[in-house]
Structure 1
Amino acid sequence: MQRIRLRYTKRGRLRFTSHRDFQRAFERALRRAEVPMAYSAGFTPHPKVSYANAAPTGTGSEAEYLEIALTEPRDPDKLRELLDESMPVGLDIIDAVESHTSGLADRLTASIWELRLDGVEPADAARAAEAFRAAESVEVQRRTKNGIRTFDAREAVVRLEAVTADEALAHDTDRPTDQPCAILRLVVRHVTPAVRPDDVLSGLRAVADLAPPVPAAVTRLAQGLLHEETGTVTDPLAPDREAATAPPVNDGAPAAAATASAPEGPA
């Protein structure tokens, strides 16, 4: 069985698709591309697809991940092209690697998010971010199926800073560019309970009275293993690429290379 790990996006209006909507679209793409999928056992077999830490409905993303299991080997790059052609525009398959390591989900420990705050002055957003960082804790509330839950949104935030429009435009993300706005970049640890971008926005309202006049446009730029020293995240597919190009490991058998004898010189 071959396992392939894929990175995909949610762009434009497709950011409003739910995770279930994406699952249906992806399974149709698998059938159109005639991917030799492995299936689960039982009375209702399902294709073996593992989804990892999907973004909330309504948020864009440049870094969603999943893994599929195949019954026959396929070239990851060609498979990516076939699947991408079969997916709706906006749900784009942008990367594929063969799995050579375990624990993809374990390498998704943090996310980089970008929040576009239309109608907010950049200076006001920068002051609010500074107040959030300075706070020891920022309690916010979220409605759950068990009622209202209160938790600290500050502890999970590794970085929070205002960025310029030019810095934001360096990323191919879903945002209009025809009007000025404030843009915040944040790095958030994946903790329990999960701290989402809207929780951080609630925290900014609580500590600095920052209330955008329209809903923020939220995009996940990356997710991966958190680098504690720099506060950034690393590519979770990098270990698989490195394993694929690494030289084969010696199995411990003694080398059979013979040493040639030097010719004898004249007496």
Structure 2
Amino acid sequence: MSRQQPEQQAPPVQRLRVRYAKRGRLRFASHRDFSRSFERAVFRARIPMAYSSGFNPHPRISYAGAAPTGAASEAEYLEIALAEVCAPDDVRASLAEAMPDGLDVLAVADPAAGGGAPASLSDLLQASRWTLEVAAAPDETRAAVERLLAEESVVVERMTKKGLRAFDCRAAVVAVGVVEGDPDRAGARLDLVLQHTVPAVRPDDVLTGLTRLTGLEVGPAPLLTRVEQGPLVDDGDGPPRVGDPFAG
């Protein structure tokens, strides 16, 4: 007796892109924790999701460029596929009400609104801009950054799911500098632009490189915050910058 074939789901009629933030203690939520929270939120908000076909249908949600666990972010992105056409602002308001505090929906956009075929979300997320708050003094941190930028290659190691891997953290650094931080807090703040590479170089890899190269003491728990993520834009007016993936 042949096994009954699963019901085939109708194709999505609309795709929306969502920008969200991970703040406060919720920066320690893993990607799996977030995906469960988001799926519960779309159910509570009654978003008319499109579902995959197969014996275990699940809502069509595509995640891209997630920040590492422990890092805060103001620029996380995902894409949802819908079974009905919805106004992006209505979806944003419904999701914002359904999400837990600290996982905050900031914007929702329809990539097809401008006409034509939009670029894939993963193709648009080419670089990230980060702020890194470290324990070292600003002058000491500035000297360490200058030393890093003078190097052609700085190899660091990090344990991954596939074992210990080596990364050239310098190759991914587009720009980095020390900026004015909170005068009431000790330490220094770095402004870092990282190009997304394969394998991925994380901001903590850059801090590891600074320590290995110069002995910089960054402290036991540097605060890492992604403030932008998007296309890497080089318009000839200063160093390359991170663009808005919702623009255009």
TM, length-normalised to structure 1: 0.83
User: Once the 2 structures are TM-superposed, how far is the Cα of residue 212 of structure 1 from its aligned partner?
Assistant: 2.0
d(CA) in 2 for partners of 1:145, 1:53: 17
1:112-151 pair list within 5 angstroms? 112-117=129-134, 119-151=135-167
Say which of 13, 20, 24 aligns to 1:12.
24
Asked whether 1:157 is paired with 2:173, we answer yes
Q: Which amino acid aligns with 2:126?
A: T
User: Once the 2 structures are TM-superposed, how far is the Cα of residue 104 of structure 1 from its aligned partner?
Assistant: 1.4
Asked whether 1:59 is paired with 2:71, we answer yes
Asked whether 1:196 is paired with 2:202, we answer yes
Structure 2 residues not aligned, in runs of 5+: 1-12, 113-117
Larger Rg: 1
Alpha-carbon distance change, 146 to 72 in structure 1, aligned in 2, over 3 angstroms: closer
d(CA) in 2 for partners of 1:102, 1:179: 42
User: Once the 2 structures are TM-superposed, how far is the Cα of residue 178 of structure 1 from its aligned partner?
Assistant: 4.5
CA offset digits 1:79-112 (Å, max 9, x no partner): 1011001001110000011121131110100000
1:1-267 pair list within 5 angstroms? 1-100=13-112, 101-117=118-134, 119-165=135-181, 178-228=184-234, 229=236, 230-239=239-248
Which SS does the other structure have where 1:180 is aligned?
Answer: coil
Q: Is the 8 A contact 2:21 2:75 kept in 1?
A: yes
Which SS does the other structure have where 1:96 is aligned?
Answer: strand
Structure 1 vs Structure 2 CA RMSD: 1.3
User: Once the 2 structures are TM-superposed, how far is the Cα of residue 147 of structure 1 from its aligned partner?
Assistant: 3.0
CA offset digits 1:101-149 (Å, max 9, x no partner): 13111010000011001x3211111111111101111111112334322
User: Once the 2 structures are TM-superposed, how far is the Cα of residue 187 of structure 1 from its aligned partner?
Assistant: 0.5
d(CA) in 2 for partners of 1:183, 1:190: 21
Q: Is the 8 A contact 2:207 2:218 kept in 1?
A: no
d(CA) in 2 for partners of 1:151, 1:81: 41
User: Once the 2 structures are TM-superposed, how far is the Cα of residue 152 of structure 1 from its aligned partner?
Assistant: 1.1
Q: Which amino acid aligns with 1:226?
A: L
Q: Which amino acid aligns with 1:197?
A: P
User: Once the 2 structures are TM-superposed, how far is the Cα of residue 214 of structure 1 from its aligned partner?
Assistant: 2.3
Structure 1 residues not aligned, in runs of 5+: 167-176, 240-267
